[in-house]
């Protein structure tokens, strides 16, 4: 008896079928684009025919947004876009439900593409936390997790990079390299001393070897690090970010709407992966959505820092220009 198909499977079947039948991708090209094996693509195409997804044309579900995903992939030269459905009547940037939905989709995507021998890099944030919460335990052979950004906020926080990295390693039965340092050192001299630590060097030496990275995108208006009560960033630095028209950040590396880095004195205190190192990773997956993050996401896309975007339908429409 054939297995029951779920919504996530149907979206993947629709996308594979669309690439193959509508866009004339070869099975090998689809495999490379979607981080699948070629035999897996072949099986999905067969299942698409058996399930009636493919008749002469591709049969799209009402809650799948394959056409819009393709538009965004082409507009921003992305490997893949995954759009999460969200109720527009209850849409709220700060809603835990929005982050939970995107996190669940990101968990499914991670479990689809993760493979033996991967070195998986992770940053920090509440949406990545929701992703980790949704992952089902799965043993991946020879998997290694790397923390890409030093700690930001209290170490016991579930969105802390070290905690996310530990939990991922546990869920996938993988090995782990932590970055045992704060994300923002108190001053440049402290940063220099921390970077000379052998354990910190071990983490940094793994950055060029990362095969897949899962990141969040921050906006200036909602980034907790920039809140004055935290005392992590001084008012002069915040003013300079605004003056230089920064729109967002990845791992506290700020950029403008064209994706160009916006450098301040904060750069001299950061301990973690930088934007140029991030661009060299073969598969960078960003999970981000919400009206306040549209400009930040556009900037990250313009800078070429992202290969895959997981977002919500309202943000997706804003990104495509609707």
pLDDT of 214: 98
pLDDT tens readout for residues 278-290: 999 999 999 999 9
Residues 104 and 15 placed together within one structural domain of the fold: no
Any domain includes 61:
no
User: Among all chains, which residue has been given the structure tokens 């479990």?
Assistant: 111
Residue 58 lies inside a defined structural domain of this protein: no
Backbone angles phi, psi at 198, to 5 degrees: -60, -40
The pLDDT, as a whole number, for residue 46 is 85
Name the pairing type of β-strands 119-122 and 308-312.
Answer: unpaired
pLDDT of residue 107: 95
Instruction: Enter the tokens of residue 255.
Output: 């950029």
**In which region does residue 321 sit, left (phi positive, over 0), alpha (psi from -120 to 50) or beta (all else)?**
left
15 and 129 together in one domain: no
Query: Closest Cα partner for 306 from 281, 273, 289?
Result: 281
Do residues 183 and 286 both lie within one domain?
Answer: yes
Q: Are residues 44 and 180 both part of a single domain?
A: no
pLDDT at residue 3 in the model: 47
Q: What is the CATH number of the domain that holds 15?
A: 1.10.10.60
The pTM assigned to this predicted structure is 0.83
Query: Are 231 and 286 contained in the same domain?
Result: yes
pLDDT of 151: 87
Q: Is the distance from CB of 288 to CB of 127 less than 8 angstroms?
A: yes
The total of structural domains in the chain comes to: 2
133 and 43 in a common domain = no
Cβ count within 10 A of residue 242: 12
pLDDT digits (tens, 9 = 90+) for 211-247: 999 999 999 887 777 776 666 777 888 889 989 999 9
> 268: which DSSP letter?
G
56 domain-assigned: no
Q: Which residues of the chain have pLDDT under 70?
A: 1-8, 55-63, 88-95, 153-159, 228-231, 322
Q: What is the DSSP letter of 220?
A: T
Please tell me the predicted confidence (pLDDT) of residue 246. 94
pLDDT of residue 230: 64
Of 245, 303, 253, the residue nearest 273 (C-alpha) = 253
Query: Is 171 inside a domain boundary?
Result: yes
At residue 89, the pLDDT reads 60
Residues 93 and 23 in one domain: no
Q: What is the pLDDT of residue 57?
A: 40
Q: Does residue 60 form part of some domain?
A: no
Q: Which range of residues forms the domain containing residue 34?
A: 7-51
172 φ/ψ angles, rounded to the nearest 5 degrees: -105, 5
Q: State the DSSP string of 102-130.
A: HHHHHHHHHHHH--TT-EEEE---HHHHH
Q: Give domain status of residue 99, yes or no.
A: yes
Q: Where are any strands of DSSP class E within 207-282?
A: 212-215, 218-219, 246-250, 253-256
Model pLDDT, residue 152 = 80
Query: At 261, which CATH number?
Result: 3.40.50.1360
| 246 lies in the same domain as 197 | yes
């Amino acid at each position: 008896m054939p297995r029951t198909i779920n919504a996530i499977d149907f979206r993947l079947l629709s996308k594979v079928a669309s690439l193959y039948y509508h866009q004339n991708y070869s099975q090998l090209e689809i495999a490379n684009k979607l981080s699948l094996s070629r035999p897996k693509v072949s099986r999905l195409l067969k299942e698409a025919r058996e399930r009636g997804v493919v008749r002469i044309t591709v049969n799209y579900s009402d809650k799948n947004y394959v056409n819009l995903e393709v538009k965004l992939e082409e507009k921003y030269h992305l490997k893949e876009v995954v759009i999460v459905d969200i109720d527009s009547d209850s849409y709220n940037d700060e809603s835990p439900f929005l982050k939970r939905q995107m996190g669940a989709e990101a968990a499914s995507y991670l479990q689809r593409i993760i493979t033996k021998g991967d070195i998986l890099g992770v940053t920090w944030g509440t949406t990545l936390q929701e992703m980790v919460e949704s992952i089902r335990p799965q043993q991946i052979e020879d998997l290694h997790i790397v923390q890409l950004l030093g700690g930001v906020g209290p170490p016991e926080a579930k969105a802390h990079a070290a905690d996310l990295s530990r939990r991922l390693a546990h869920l996938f039965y993988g090995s782990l390299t932590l970055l045992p340092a704060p994300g923002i050192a108190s001053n440049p001299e402290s940063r220099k001393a921390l970077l000379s630590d052998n354990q910190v060097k071990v983490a940094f030496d793994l950055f060029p070897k990362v095969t897949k990275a899962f990141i969040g995108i921050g906006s200036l208006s909602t980034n907790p690090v920039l809140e004055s009560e935290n005392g992590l960033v001084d008012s002069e630095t915040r003013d300079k970010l605004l003056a230089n028209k920064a729109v967002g950040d990845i791992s506290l590396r700020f950029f403008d709407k064209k994706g160009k880095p916006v450098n301040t004195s904060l750069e001299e205190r950061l301990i973690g992966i930088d934007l140029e190192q991030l661009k060299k990773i073969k598969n960078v997956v960003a999970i981000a959505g919400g009206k306040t993050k549209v400009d930040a996401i556009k900037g990250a896309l313009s800078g070429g820092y992202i290969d895959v975007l997981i977002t919500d339908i309202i943000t997706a429409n804003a990104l495509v220009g609707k």
